[in-house]
């Protein structure tokens, strides 16, 4: 499995450099051939569907890859991962959907289920996982917090190397770890980007660094291994500015500038679209959304088509 992981990393690196490679390497252990770089959907917004329904819905929308939720209240519960993750992957494959990525709550390498989740995922072809979030203890200084959290990344790097899988921490707006973006550099600077890196979220980066975000992207570029794509707008409510998640292209995220920076730094990466605007509660992972699947699917398809057109306009769609 380690050899398979190394081949995958070498192949994706070659694609970034413009080298023609054998696309079958991207399939890893999954039976159907994956795209060179997948455009996934984070499955949280479809958690009201079972595995066969999920596969059917994704095909109709136009996706061929999924970032599966493997965490509490997700499509796969961590305690059931050994049975349910292989089952989910097999069923999705039958619809033509690969699962190259997953979202987890893993932020403690010593938690008993951590190795089981990573081992099962790697064995069944999942190449990337998003970590769980870390937080700042207000009783400690910022640097004391970061020194403590570096121990988590140190242990996870070793586990990821053992299982041949890439761990990615998402930058997320707010006062948690990763909010400033620059703090992630301090946490990652001494670790191998092949095994611990960042799921770079341009939406959250722009919330916290409206004009300065290119600096953070530049700093983190060696560790950016996946992209999370979504959009937002600033609204005023009762005299206060609030953030409103919106469909792609309807907000303030400058995707043209983002893609230009990504191309400049040679960090074209596997993509996951996150649907966090109003989908009748589905955007929060609700099991009984008030919006029907047809309407939800229409929103999702519109975003997927919009993103592909944007990639095409920057001459990178052929990499996906």
> SS in 3 state form for 240-275?
EEEEEEECCCCCCCCHHHHHHHHHHCCCCCCEEECC
Mean pLDDT of the chain: 92
Residue 35 pLDDT class (50, 70, 90 cuts): confident
Residue 294 pLDDT class (50, 70, 90 cuts): very high
Across residues 108-114, what is the average pLDDT? 96
> Is the pLDDT assigned to residue 303 strictly greater than 70?
yes
Report d(CA 8, CA 14) in Å as an integer: 10
Residue 7 pLDDT class (50, 70, 90 cuts): very low
| Top-confidence residue, 27 or 120 | 120
Report d(CA 2, CA 148) in Å as an integer: 29
Judge contact between 52 and 89, C-beta under 8 A: no
Report how far Cα 61 is from the mean position of its chain's Cα atoms. Answer: 19
DSSP string, 26-63: GGTTSSSPPPSS-EEEEGGGGTTS-HHHHHHHHHHHT-
Model confidence pLDDT, tens digit, residues 57-79: 999 999 999 999 999 999 999 99
Domain spanning 34-319: CATH superfamily: Divalent-metal-dependent TIM barrel enzymes (3.20.20.150)
Percent of the chain scored above 70 by pLDDT? 89
For the chain, give every domain's residue range: 34-319
Residue 315 pLDDT class (50, 70, 90 cuts): very high
Model confidence pLDDT, tens digit, residues 239-261: 999 999 999 999 999 999 999 99
Q: How far is CA 265 from CA 59, 103, 260, in A?
A: 32, 25, 9
Enter the pTM of the model: 0.90
Residue 289 has a pLDDT of 98
């Amino acid at each position: 499995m380690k050899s398979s992981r190394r081949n995958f990393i070498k192949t994706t690196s070659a694609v970034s450099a413009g080298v023609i490679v054998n696309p079958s390497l991207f399939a890893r252990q999954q039976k159907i051939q994956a795209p060179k770089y997948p455009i996934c959907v984070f499955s949280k917004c479809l958690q009201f569907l079972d595995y066969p329904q999920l596969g059917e819905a994704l095909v109709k929308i136009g996706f061929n890859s999924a970032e599966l939720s493997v965490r509490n209240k997700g499509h796969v519960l961590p305690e059931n991962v050994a049975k349910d993750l292989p089952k989910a992957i097999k069923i999705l494959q039958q619809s033509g959907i690969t699962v190259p990525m997953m979202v987890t709550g893993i932020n403690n390498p010593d938690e008993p289920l951590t190795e089981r989740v990573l081992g099962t995922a790697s064995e069944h072809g999942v190449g990337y996982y998003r970590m769980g979030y870390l937080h700042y203890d207000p009783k400690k200084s910022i640097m004391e917090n970061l020194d403590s959290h570096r121990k988590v990344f140190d242990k996870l790097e070793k586990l990821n190397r053992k299982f041949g899988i890439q761990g990615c921490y998402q930058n997320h707006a707010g006062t948690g770890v990763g909010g400033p973006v620059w703090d992630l550099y301090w946490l990652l600077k001494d670790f191998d980007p092949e095994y611990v890196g960042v799921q770079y979220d341009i939406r959250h980066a722009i919330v916290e660094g409206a004009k300065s975000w290119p600096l953070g992207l530049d700093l983190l570029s060696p560790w950016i291994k996946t992209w999370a794509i979504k959009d937002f707008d600033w609204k005023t409510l009762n005299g206060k500015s609030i953030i409103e998640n919106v469909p792609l292209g309807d907000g303030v995220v400058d995707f043209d500038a983002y893609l230009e920076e990504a191309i400049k730094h040679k960090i074209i990466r596997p993509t996951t679209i996150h649907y966090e605007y109003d989908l009748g509660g589905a955007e929060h992972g609700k099991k009984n959304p008030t919006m029907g699947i047809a309407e939800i699917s229409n929103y999702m398809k519109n975003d997927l088509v919009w993103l592909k057109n944007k990639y095409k306009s920057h001459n990178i769609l052929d990499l996906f």
